[in-house]
Structure 1
Protein backbone atom coordinates (compact mmCIF):
# COMPACT_ATOMS: atom_id res chain seq x y z
CA UNK A 1 0.00 0.00 0.00
CA UNK A 2 3.06 2.28 -0.16
CA UNK A 3 3.34 2.23 -3.95
CA UNK A 4 5.96 -0.51 -4.09
CA UNK A 5 5.11 -3.54 -6.17
CA UNK A 6 7.73 -6.00 -4.90
CA UNK A 7 10.51 -6.47 -2.39
CA UNK A 8 13.85 -5.27 -3.71
CA UNK A 9 15.57 -8.57 -2.90
CA UNK A 10 12.90 -10.90 -4.29
CA UNK A 11 11.97 -8.85 -7.34
CA UNK A 12 8.58 -10.47 -7.98
CA UNK A 13 5.37 -9.68 -6.03
CA UNK A 14 4.23 -12.42 -3.68
CA UNK A 15 1.95 -10.68 -1.20
CA UNK A 16 -1.41 -10.47 -2.97
CA UNK A 17 -4.31 -12.88 -2.54
CA UNK A 18 -5.50 -15.85 -4.54
CA UNK A 19 -8.43 -13.71 -5.67
CA UNK A 20 -6.01 -11.15 -7.09
CA UNK A 21 -4.07 -13.83 -8.96
CA UNK A 22 -7.30 -15.23 -10.42
CA UNK A 23 -8.24 -11.73 -11.53
CA UNK A 24 -4.88 -11.49 -13.30
CA UNK A 25 -5.64 -14.73 -15.15
CA UNK A 26 -9.03 -13.32 -16.23
CA UNK A 27 -7.37 -10.19 -17.57
CA UNK A 28 -4.80 -12.30 -19.40
CA UNK A 29 -7.58 -14.39 -20.89
CA UNK A 30 -9.19 -11.26 -22.35
CA UNK A 31 -5.95 -9.98 -23.92
CA UNK A 32 -4.44 -10.72 -27.30
CA UNK A 33 -0.91 -9.98 -26.16
CA UNK A 34 0.86 -9.33 -22.85
CA UNK A 35 3.56 -6.65 -22.60
CA UNK A 36 6.27 -6.94 -19.94
CA UNK A 37 9.56 -5.26 -19.14
CA UNK A 38 12.90 -7.02 -19.19
CA UNK A 39 13.37 -6.90 -15.42
CA UNK A 40 10.05 -8.70 -14.94
CA UNK A 41 11.31 -11.50 -17.19
CA UNK A 42 14.57 -11.77 -15.24
CA UNK A 43 12.67 -12.39 -12.01
CA UNK A 44 9.95 -14.70 -13.33
CA UNK A 45 10.65 -18.42 -13.47
CA UNK A 46 7.86 -19.34 -15.89
CA UNK A 47 6.09 -17.70 -18.84
CA UNK A 48 2.88 -15.71 -18.16
CA UNK A 49 0.17 -18.24 -18.95
CA UNK A 50 -3.58 -18.29 -18.36
CA UNK A 51 -3.29 -20.66 -15.41
CA UNK A 52 -6.97 -21.51 -15.35
CA UNK A 53 -8.18 -24.37 -17.54
CA UNK A 54 -11.71 -22.98 -17.89
CA UNK A 55 -10.46 -19.60 -19.08
CA UNK A 56 -8.04 -21.22 -21.51
CA UNK A 57 -10.91 -23.30 -22.89
CA UNK A 58 -13.05 -20.19 -23.33
CA UNK A 59 -10.27 -18.71 -25.43
CA UNK A 60 -10.18 -21.84 -27.58
CA UNK A 61 -13.95 -21.70 -28.01
CA UNK A 62 -13.59 -18.12 -29.25
CA UNK A 63 -11.07 -19.23 -31.87
CA UNK A 64 -8.04 -17.96 -29.96
CA UNK A 65 -4.97 -19.84 -28.72
CA UNK A 66 -5.21 -20.83 -25.03
CA UNK A 67 -2.56 -18.29 -23.99
CA UNK A 68 -1.96 -14.74 -25.26
CA UNK A 69 1.27 -13.86 -27.00
CA UNK A 70 3.99 -11.99 -25.10
CA UNK A 71 6.07 -8.98 -26.09
CA UNK A 72 9.11 -8.16 -23.95
CA UNK A 73 10.46 -4.62 -24.04
CA UNK A 74 14.24 -4.57 -23.66
CA UNK A 75 16.85 -2.12 -24.88
CA UNK A 76 19.80 -4.01 -23.39
CA UNK A 77 18.60 -7.48 -24.51
CA UNK A 78 20.15 -8.89 -21.35
CA UNK A 79 17.61 -11.68 -21.03
CA UNK A 80 17.82 -15.24 -19.62
CA UNK A 81 17.35 -16.98 -22.95
CA UNK A 82 17.79 -20.48 -21.50
CA UNK A 83 15.41 -19.95 -18.60
CA UNK A 84 11.98 -21.52 -18.31
CA UNK A 85 10.34 -18.23 -19.25
CA UNK A 86 11.39 -18.99 -22.82
CA UNK A 87 11.96 -22.74 -22.94
CA UNK A 88 8.58 -23.58 -21.38
CA UNK A 89 6.52 -20.98 -23.21
CA UNK A 90 3.29 -22.12 -24.85
CA UNK A 91 2.68 -18.97 -26.87
CA UNK A 92 4.53 -16.76 -29.37
CA UNK A 93 7.07 -14.43 -27.75
CA UNK A 94 8.39 -11.22 -29.28
CA UNK A 95 11.21 -9.00 -28.04
CA UNK A 96 10.87 -5.30 -28.81
CA UNK A 97 14.16 -3.40 -28.95
CA UNK A 98 15.97 -0.65 -30.83
CA UNK A 99 18.68 -2.78 -32.43
CA UNK A 100 19.84 -6.35 -31.90
CA UNK A 101 23.29 -7.77 -32.74
CA UNK A 102 23.42 -10.99 -34.71
CA UNK A 103 24.40 -13.02 -31.64
CA UNK A 104 21.27 -11.94 -29.77
CA UNK A 105 19.04 -12.58 -32.78
CA UNK A 106 20.48 -16.10 -32.88
CA UNK A 107 19.89 -16.65 -29.14
CA UNK A 108 16.30 -15.52 -29.62
CA UNK A 109 15.79 -17.68 -32.69
CA UNK A 110 17.12 -20.73 -30.84
CA UNK A 111 14.17 -20.52 -28.42
CA UNK A 112 11.60 -19.49 -31.03
CA UNK A 113 11.51 -15.78 -30.14
CA UNK A 114 10.93 -13.08 -32.77
CA UNK A 115 12.96 -9.86 -32.40
CA UNK A 116 11.30 -6.60 -33.47
CA UNK A 117 13.86 -3.83 -34.10
CA UNK A 118 12.60 -0.24 -34.05
CA UNK A 119 15.84 1.42 -35.11
CA UNK A 120 15.42 5.21 -34.91
CA UNK A 121 11.63 5.03 -34.55
CA UNK A 122 9.85 5.49 -31.23
CA UNK A 123 10.13 2.09 -29.60
CA UNK A 124 6.54 1.86 -28.39
CA UNK A 125 4.76 3.35 -31.39
CA UNK A 126 6.75 0.98 -33.58
CA UNK A 127 5.93 -1.93 -31.28
CA UNK A 128 2.20 -1.28 -31.24
CA UNK A 129 2.17 -0.88 -35.02
CA UNK A 130 3.96 -4.21 -35.40
CA UNK A 131 1.54 -5.96 -33.04
CA UNK A 132 -1.51 -4.56 -34.80
CA UNK A 133 -0.08 -5.55 -38.18
CA UNK A 134 0.12 -9.12 -36.87
CA UNK A 135 -3.53 -9.08 -35.86
CA UNK A 136 -3.13 -8.40 -32.14
CA UNK A 137 -5.70 -6.05 -30.69
CA UNK A 138 -5.96 -5.77 -26.93
CA UNK A 139 -2.63 -5.35 -25.14
CA UNK A 140 -2.30 -5.98 -21.40
CA UNK A 141 0.82 -4.40 -19.89
CA UNK A 142 1.83 -6.25 -16.73
CA UNK A 143 4.78 -4.05 -15.75
CA UNK A 144 7.09 -3.40 -14.18
CA UNK A 145 7.19 0.21 -13.19
CA UNK A 146 9.62 1.40 -15.87
CA UNK A 147 7.40 -0.02 -18.61
CA UNK A 148 4.29 1.51 -17.03
CA UNK A 149 6.01 4.91 -16.89
CA UNK A 150 6.99 4.71 -20.57
CA UNK A 151 3.44 3.85 -21.62
CA UNK A 152 1.90 6.60 -19.48
CA UNK A 153 4.37 9.15 -20.84
CA UNK A 154 3.16 8.35 -24.37
CA UNK A 155 -0.53 8.31 -23.39
CA UNK A 156 -0.82 4.64 -24.39
CA UNK A 157 -2.81 3.50 -21.35
CA UNK A 158 -6.60 3.61 -21.48
CA UNK A 159 -7.33 1.40 -18.45
CA UNK A 160 -5.37 0.97 -15.24
CA UNK A 161 -6.02 -2.00 -12.94
CA UNK A 162 -4.68 -1.53 -9.44
CA UNK A 163 -4.81 -3.80 -6.39
CA UNK A 164 -4.22 -2.08 -3.07
CA UNK A 165 -2.91 -4.76 -0.70
CA UNK A 166 -2.64 -4.18 3.08
CA UNK A 167 1.16 -4.47 3.03
CA UNK A 168 3.85 -1.80 3.36
CA UNK A 169 7.21 -2.88 1.93
CA UNK A 170 9.43 0.17 2.13
CA UNK A 171 12.95 0.05 0.76
CA UNK A 172 14.77 2.65 -1.30
CA UNK A 173 15.52 0.15 -4.05
CA UNK A 174 12.13 -1.58 -4.13
CA UNK A 175 10.41 -1.27 -7.53
CA UNK A 176 7.60 1.27 -7.76
CA UNK A 177 4.26 1.09 -9.54
CA UNK A 178 5.37 3.91 -11.87
CA UNK A 179 9.16 4.23 -12.03
CA UNK A 180 10.68 7.18 -13.85
CA UNK A 181 10.95 10.97 -13.97
CA UNK A 182 7.98 13.25 -13.34
CA UNK A 183 5.18 12.95 -15.88
CA UNK A 184 4.48 16.42 -17.27
CA UNK A 185 1.63 17.00 -17.41
CA UNK A 186 0.46 14.39 -14.88
CA UNK A 187 -1.68 11.62 -16.36
CA UNK A 188 -5.18 11.58 -14.87
CA UNK A 189 -7.71 8.76 -14.68
CA UNK A 190 -11.31 8.37 -13.54
CA UNK A 191 -12.35 5.66 -11.11
CA UNK A 192 -14.58 3.19 -12.97
CA UNK A 193 -14.92 0.33 -10.49
CA UNK A 194 -13.96 -0.41 -6.88
CA UNK A 195 -14.32 -3.76 -5.14
CA UNK A 196 -13.28 -4.75 -1.64
CA UNK A 197 -12.25 -8.38 -1.09
CA UNK A 198 -11.23 -9.00 2.51
CA UNK A 199 -8.59 -6.31 3.15
CA UNK A 200 -7.71 -5.72 -0.50
CA UNK A 201 -9.14 -3.02 -2.75
CA UNK A 202 -9.43 -3.87 -6.43
CA UNK A 203 -9.60 -0.70 -8.51
CA UNK A 204 -10.16 -0.05 -12.19
CA UNK A 205 -9.43 3.39 -13.60
CA UNK A 206 -10.16 4.62 -17.11
CA UNK A 207 -8.42 7.34 -19.06
CA UNK A 208 -11.55 8.98 -20.42
CA UNK A 209 -15.34 8.81 -20.27
CA UNK A 210 -17.71 8.86 -17.37
CA UNK A 211 -16.76 7.23 -14.07
CA UNK A 212 -19.20 4.64 -12.82
CA UNK A 213 -20.39 4.70 -9.19
CA UNK A 214 -17.62 3.17 -7.09
Structure 2
Protein backbone atom coordinates (compact mmCIF):
# COMPACT_ATOMS: atom_id res chain seq x y z
CA UNK A 1 0.00 0.00 0.00
CA UNK A 2 1.33 3.44 -0.96
CA UNK A 3 2.02 5.79 1.94
CA UNK A 4 0.76 9.28 1.28
CA UNK A 5 3.06 12.18 2.16
CA UNK A 6 2.76 14.15 5.37
CA UNK A 7 0.90 17.31 4.27
CA UNK A 8 1.86 20.68 5.71
CA UNK A 9 -0.19 23.73 4.70
CA UNK A 10 1.66 27.04 4.91
CA UNK A 11 0.16 30.51 4.52
CA UNK A 12 0.66 34.10 5.58
CA UNK A 13 -2.49 36.14 6.04
CA UNK A 14 -3.72 39.46 7.34
CA UNK A 15 -5.61 39.69 10.62
CA UNK A 16 -8.86 39.72 8.60
CA UNK A 17 -7.95 36.53 6.72
CA UNK A 18 -6.58 37.70 3.36
CA UNK A 19 -3.59 36.25 1.50
CA UNK A 20 -3.11 39.38 -0.60
CA UNK A 21 -4.83 42.60 -1.59
CA UNK A 22 -6.54 43.24 -4.93
CA UNK A 23 -3.75 45.29 -6.49
CA UNK A 24 -1.44 43.91 -9.23
CA UNK A 25 1.57 44.16 -6.90
CA UNK A 26 2.04 41.35 -4.37
CA UNK A 27 1.28 42.39 -0.77
CA UNK A 28 4.16 41.32 1.49
CA UNK A 29 2.56 40.05 4.67
CA UNK A 30 5.57 38.46 6.35
CA UNK A 31 8.86 39.96 7.50
CA UNK A 32 12.44 38.90 6.73
CA UNK A 33 12.69 36.55 9.70
CA UNK A 34 9.47 34.77 8.77
CA UNK A 35 10.52 34.47 5.12
CA UNK A 36 13.67 32.75 6.38
CA UNK A 37 11.55 30.39 8.49
CA UNK A 38 9.53 29.48 5.40
CA UNK A 39 12.75 28.87 3.52
CA UNK A 40 13.85 26.46 6.25
CA UNK A 41 10.53 24.61 6.08
CA UNK A 42 10.82 24.35 2.30
CA UNK A 43 14.28 22.86 2.66
CA UNK A 44 12.90 20.19 5.00
CA UNK A 45 10.28 19.03 2.49
CA UNK A 46 10.45 16.64 -0.46
CA UNK A 47 7.98 18.62 -2.57
CA UNK A 48 6.22 22.00 -2.63
CA UNK A 49 2.78 22.42 -4.19
CA UNK A 50 0.89 25.52 -5.29
CA UNK A 51 -2.18 25.94 -7.45
CA UNK A 52 -2.03 27.04 -11.08
CA UNK A 53 -3.96 30.24 -10.32
CA UNK A 54 -1.27 31.29 -7.85
CA UNK A 55 1.45 30.59 -10.42
CA UNK A 56 -0.33 32.76 -12.99
CA UNK A 57 -1.07 35.57 -10.54
CA UNK A 58 2.18 35.76 -8.54
CA UNK A 59 4.69 34.26 -10.99
CA UNK A 60 6.80 32.77 -8.14
CA UNK A 61 10.09 30.93 -8.47
CA UNK A 62 9.32 28.86 -5.33
CA UNK A 63 12.90 28.05 -4.32
CA UNK A 64 15.01 27.22 -1.30
CA UNK A 65 17.02 30.43 -1.22
CA UNK A 66 19.67 29.53 1.36
CA UNK A 67 22.82 28.08 -0.21
CA UNK A 68 23.66 26.35 3.09
CA UNK A 69 20.28 24.62 3.20
CA UNK A 70 20.60 23.49 -0.40
CA UNK A 71 24.11 22.18 0.31
CA UNK A 72 22.78 20.27 3.31
CA UNK A 73 20.11 18.66 1.15
CA UNK A 74 22.76 17.52 -1.31
CA UNK A 75 24.99 16.21 1.50
CA UNK A 76 22.04 14.15 2.73
CA UNK A 77 21.68 12.56 -0.70
CA UNK A 78 18.60 14.60 -1.65
CA UNK A 79 18.00 16.84 -4.64
CA UNK A 80 19.19 20.43 -4.32
CA UNK A 81 15.61 21.68 -4.48
CA UNK A 82 12.33 20.02 -3.51
CA UNK A 83 10.13 18.79 -6.36
CA UNK A 84 7.84 21.64 -7.48
CA UNK A 85 4.23 20.58 -8.05
CA UNK A 86 1.14 22.31 -9.41
CA UNK A 87 -2.39 21.26 -10.23
CA UNK A 88 -4.55 22.54 -13.11
CA UNK A 89 -7.96 21.55 -14.43
CA UNK A 90 -7.60 23.54 -17.65
CA UNK A 91 -3.98 23.00 -18.62
CA UNK A 92 -3.71 26.76 -19.09
CA UNK A 93 -0.08 27.30 -18.04
CA UNK A 94 2.31 29.60 -19.86
CA UNK A 95 5.77 28.18 -20.48
CA UNK A 96 7.29 31.64 -19.80
CA UNK A 97 6.49 31.65 -16.07
CA UNK A 98 9.30 31.63 -13.50
CA UNK A 99 8.05 28.40 -11.93
CA UNK A 100 9.38 26.33 -14.85
CA UNK A 101 12.79 27.95 -15.22
CA UNK A 102 14.21 27.91 -11.70
CA UNK A 103 14.99 25.12 -9.27
CA UNK A 104 14.84 21.41 -9.97
CA UNK A 105 12.20 19.01 -11.26
CA UNK A 106 8.58 20.03 -11.84
CA UNK A 107 5.40 17.95 -11.85
CA UNK A 108 1.95 18.94 -13.10
CA UNK A 109 -1.27 17.13 -12.18
CA UNK A 110 -4.25 17.66 -14.44
CA UNK A 111 -7.34 15.86 -15.76
CA UNK A 112 -7.75 13.72 -18.87
CA UNK A 113 -9.17 16.43 -21.12
CA UNK A 114 -6.36 18.89 -20.33
CA UNK A 115 -3.33 16.59 -20.32
CA UNK A 116 -2.58 17.01 -24.04
CA UNK A 117 -2.69 20.80 -23.82
CA UNK A 118 -0.48 20.95 -20.73
CA UNK A 119 2.00 18.45 -22.16
CA UNK A 120 2.36 20.42 -25.40
CA UNK A 121 2.82 23.74 -23.59
CA UNK A 122 5.33 22.40 -21.07
CA UNK A 123 7.23 20.00 -23.30
CA UNK A 124 10.60 19.42 -21.64
CA UNK A 125 9.79 21.70 -18.69
CA UNK A 126 7.66 19.43 -16.50
CA UNK A 127 6.30 15.92 -16.12
CA UNK A 128 2.53 16.06 -16.77
CA UNK A 129 0.29 13.44 -15.16
CA UNK A 130 -3.49 12.98 -15.43
CA UNK A 131 -5.42 11.81 -12.38
CA UNK A 132 -8.52 10.91 -14.40
CA UNK A 133 -11.67 12.68 -15.58
CA UNK A 134 -11.94 14.80 -12.42
CA UNK A 135 -9.39 16.30 -10.07
CA UNK A 136 -8.96 13.99 -7.09
CA UNK A 137 -6.64 15.16 -4.31
CA UNK A 138 -6.44 11.66 -2.89
CA UNK A 139 -5.03 10.39 -6.18
CA UNK A 140 -2.60 13.32 -6.28
CA UNK A 141 -1.28 12.34 -2.84
CA UNK A 142 -1.17 8.67 -3.80
CA UNK A 143 0.96 9.46 -6.85
CA UNK A 144 3.29 11.67 -4.83
CA UNK A 145 3.69 8.85 -2.34
CA UNK A 146 4.56 6.43 -5.15
CA UNK A 147 7.24 8.90 -6.26
CA UNK A 148 8.84 8.81 -2.83
CA UNK A 149 7.52 12.12 -1.50
CA UNK A 150 7.37 11.81 2.27
CA UNK A 151 6.75 15.43 3.22
CA UNK A 152 4.68 17.84 1.11
CA UNK A 153 4.46 21.59 1.71
CA UNK A 154 1.34 23.23 0.27
CA UNK A 155 1.70 26.99 -0.22
CA UNK A 156 -1.70 27.84 -1.64
CA UNK A 157 -3.58 29.58 -2.91
CA UNK A 158 -6.84 29.86 -1.04
CA UNK A 159 -8.78 27.42 -3.22
CA UNK A 160 -6.14 24.74 -2.73
CA UNK A 161 -5.96 25.35 1.02
CA UNK A 162 -9.75 25.19 1.25
CA UNK A 163 -9.90 21.86 -0.57
CA UNK A 164 -7.20 20.27 1.57
CA UNK A 165 -8.88 21.44 4.78
CA UNK A 166 -12.39 20.50 3.67
CA UNK A 167 -11.27 17.01 2.63
CA UNK A 168 -9.33 16.54 5.89
CA UNK A 169 -6.05 15.95 4.05
CA UNK A 170 -3.80 18.33 6.02
CA UNK A 171 -1.62 16.95 8.81
CA UNK A 172 -0.21 20.30 9.91
CA UNK A 173 -1.02 23.98 9.38
CA UNK A 174 1.46 26.85 9.62
CA UNK A 175 -0.34 30.19 9.67
CA UNK A 176 1.65 33.43 9.89
CA UNK A 177 -0.68 36.27 10.91
CA UNK A 178 0.48 39.76 9.93
CA UNK A 179 -0.70 42.94 11.71
CA UNK A 180 -2.47 44.24 8.62
CA UNK A 181 -6.08 44.67 7.53
CA UNK A 182 -7.01 44.27 3.86
CA UNK A 183 -10.81 44.43 3.77
CA UNK A 184 -11.11 44.17 -0.03
CA UNK A 185 -13.94 41.81 -1.09
CA UNK A 186 -12.20 40.75 -4.32
CA UNK A 187 -8.85 39.96 -2.67
CA UNK A 188 -7.93 36.27 -2.15
CA UNK A 189 -8.66 34.78 1.25
CA UNK A 190 -6.88 32.01 3.12
CA UNK A 191 -9.99 29.81 3.25
CA UNK A 192 -13.34 29.95 1.50
CA UNK A 193 -16.77 28.58 2.30
CA UNK A 194 -16.80 24.78 2.65
CA UNK A 195 -18.22 21.90 4.64
CA UNK A 196 -15.29 21.47 7.01
CA UNK A 197 -14.87 18.29 9.08
CA UNK A 198 -16.53 18.45 12.48
CA UNK A 199 -18.54 21.58 11.76
CA UNK A 200 -18.25 24.78 13.78
CA UNK A 201 -17.61 23.12 17.14
CA UNK A 202 -14.52 21.03 16.23
CA UNK A 203 -11.41 22.68 17.64
CA UNK A 204 -7.99 21.93 16.13
CA UNK A 205 -5.09 21.22 18.47
CA UNK A 206 -2.64 24.10 18.81
CA UNK A 207 0.95 22.86 18.45
CA UNK A 208 2.78 26.15 18.82
CA UNK A 209 2.33 29.91 18.98
CA UNK A 210 5.32 32.24 18.64
CA UNK A 211 6.06 35.81 17.69
CA UNK A 212 8.44 36.45 14.80
CA UNK A 213 8.97 40.19 14.85
CA UNK A 214 5.51 41.65 14.30
CA UNK A 215 4.11 38.39 12.89
CA UNK A 216 2.52 35.62 14.95
CA UNK A 217 3.10 32.03 13.82
CA UNK A 218 0.37 29.56 14.72
CA UNK A 219 0.92 25.83 14.18
CA UNK A 220 -2.12 23.55 14.30
CA UNK A 221 -2.85 19.86 13.87
CA UNK A 222 -6.03 20.02 11.71
CA UNK A 223 -6.90 16.33 12.03
CA UNK A 224 -6.69 16.37 15.81
CA UNK A 225 -10.07 17.94 16.40
CA UNK A 226 -12.02 17.68 19.64
Note whether the superposition's TM-score is higher than 0.5: yes
SS at match of 1:207: strand
Q: Does 1:177 align with 2:193?
A: no
Give 1:196 shift.
1.1
Q: How does 1:1-214 map to 2 (within 5 A)?
A: 1-10=15-24, 12-86=26-100, 88-99=101-112, 100-110=114-124, 112-120=125-133, 123-183=136-196, 185-186=198-199, 188-208=203-223
Give 1:77 shift.
1.8
SS at match of 1:96: strand
Tell me the TM-score normalized by structure 2: 0.85
Once residues 109 and 32 of structure 1 are traced to their aligned partners in structure 2, the CA distance between those partners, rounded to angstroms, is 23
**Across the two proteins, how many residue pairs are aligned to each other?**
208
Higher relative contact order (CA 8 A, sep 6+): 2
Once residues 94 and 175 of structure 2 are traced to their aligned partners in structure 1, the CA distance between those partners, rounded to angstroms, is 28
Give 1:4 shift.
0.3
Give 1:89 shift.
2.2
Q: Structure 1 or 2: larger strand share?
A: 2
Tell me the TM-score normalized by structure 1: 0.89
More moved, 181-190 vs 116-125: 181-190
Gaps spanning 5+ residues in structure 2: where?
1-14
Once residues 115 and 81 of structure 2 are traced to their aligned partners in structure 1, the CA distance between those partners, rounded to angstroms, is 29
SS at match of 1:143: coil
Q: In angstroms, what is the RMSD of aligned CA positions?
A: 2.0
Paired residues of 1:12 and 1:40 also in contact (CA < 8 A) = no
Change in CA separation of 1:46 and 1:164 when aligned onto 2, cut-off 3 Å: closer
